[in-house]
Amino acid sequence: MLAFGCRSDRKVNTSFYYWKTRFTNNATQANYLSALKTRTLYVRIMDIDIDEESGKPVPVSPIVFNEPVPDTLQAIPVVFIVNRVFYNITQPQLNELAVKITAFVKAKLKQAGKSSFDQIQIDCDWTINTRDNYFYLLNQLNAQPALKNKLISATLRLHQLKNRQRNGVPPVQRVMLMCYNMGNLRKYGNQNSILDVNELKKYAASNLADYPLPLDVGFPLFNWAVVFRNKQYAGLSKKLVLNDLKDGNHFIFIEKNQYRARMDIPQYGILKNDEVRWEDTELGELEKLALHLSPLIKNDTLNLIYFHLDENVIKSYKPQQLQETADLLR
């Protein structure tokens, strides 16, 4: 059944994002990387945001390498830039930012035990109002001597794909389509804002076939607890897990993926009668996603990048299941 709709002439490489502030390898992660024959790891190096005092772009929560990235893996550095960085910024400041990003990435990879790298990826939820400054920065990164002959890629969100004529195409060599966070997280109800293939189809259909850059795809492997207070969005409870919600002493099951707190639970930031929507990534939805995208993407080599490498999440899936999902993209 899993082979339905596959093509045999496309090479699909399976990779992961590493999106934590400390890099530590462990047996669970290593086993998944080995089983999926992963050769690259997309490592978040830092966020970049505006410093409130100086008004200048600064690194936020840069990664610390507790140990080197294994020799068996190529590290692809990823830099997330908050969209507001590109408001009210001058071209000289962008020139300086490109230089600083390049130097910071090189230094961090040296800490990771990597003397070289082949690609750098920039992640930004740019809009029409920030497009020109963001694209200017990408061009400046392309012009950095230290990045000569290196591939520069960028993430592509669904709204950026759908509104391509307005938002433009980033001046990079490759893009990674983020196939997650497609619903309204803040909307009350029992939907799943992480992955909804029917929602994705509204954004990604025939427009994939004529996209002018090679496309890679990012699939979600994460979950979270969305809290509502008086039916108004109150945030994410980062410590809360599904087993906590199933504890009948603390929560009442409402329906589908919704629960109500019986009492205040301070350690989770929960008050009595708060409602919690549990969202995760079902294997069946990942398979539907792959089957939808496979005939629409035309490049012969495709990178499937799972977000993200977290032993507490990936152990819910067998390596074979993740590989079979990747095979649907061939």
- Both tokens of 308, joined, read 């993200």
Predicted local confidence at residue 8, as pLDDT: 54
Predicted local confidence at residue 132, as pLDDT: 98
CB atoms within 10 A of CB 315: 12
Alpha carbon distance 81, 98 (integer Å):
12
Predicted local confidence at residue 195, as pLDDT: 95
Predicted local confidence at residue 5, as pLDDT: 45
- Both tokens of 182, joined, read 């497609």
Predicted local confidence at residue 178, as pLDDT: 98
Q: Which of 282, 285, 255, 250 lies closest to 268, judged by CA?
A: 250
With residues binned 3-state (H G I as helix, E B as strand, rest as coil), the percentages for the chain, rounded to 5, are: 30, 30, 45
Helix ranges (H only) for the chain are 27-35, 91-111, 131-142, 158-162, 164-167, 197-200, 242-245, 283-293, 311-314, 319-327
Cis omega (within 30 of 0) for bond into 292: no
Q: Which domains does the chain have, with CATH numbers?
A: 11-222+280-327 (3.20.20.80), 224-279 (no CATH)
DSSP collapsed to 3 states, the chain: CCCCCCCCCCEEEEEEEECCCEECCCHHHHHHHHHCCCCEEEEEEEEEEECCCCCCEEEECCCEECCCCCCCCEEEEEEEECHHHHCCCCHHHHHHHHHHHHHHHHHHHHHCCCCCCCEEEEECCCCCCCHHHHHHHHHHHHCCHHHCCCEEEEEECHHHHHCHHHHCCCCCCEEEEECCCCCCCCCCCCCCCCCCHHHHCCCCCHHHCCCCCCEEEEEECCCEEEEEECCEEEEECCCCCHHHHCCCCCEEEEECCEEEECCCEHHHCECCCCEEEEECCCHHHHHHHHHHHCCCCCCCEEEEEEECCCHHHHCCCCHHHHHHHHHCCC
- Both tokens of 260, joined, read 């109500």
Predicted local confidence at residue 101, as pLDDT: 98
Half-sphere exposure of 43 (CA within 13 A, CB side): 30
How does pLDDT run along the chain (330 residues), one tens digit per residue? 344 444 457 999 999 999 999 999 999 999 999 999 999 999 999 999 999 999 999 999 999 999 999 999 999 999 999 999 999 999 999 999 999 999 999 999 999 999 999 999 999 999 999 999 999 999 999 999 999 999 999 999 999 999 999 999 999 999 999 999 988 999 999 999 999 999 999 999 999 999 999 999 999 999 999 999 999 999 999 889 999 999 999 999 999 999 999 999 999 999 999 999 999 999 999 999 999 999 999 999 999 999 999 999 999 999 999 999 999 999
DSSP designation for 152 = E
Q: Are 130 and 86 in contact (CB under 8 A)?
A: yes
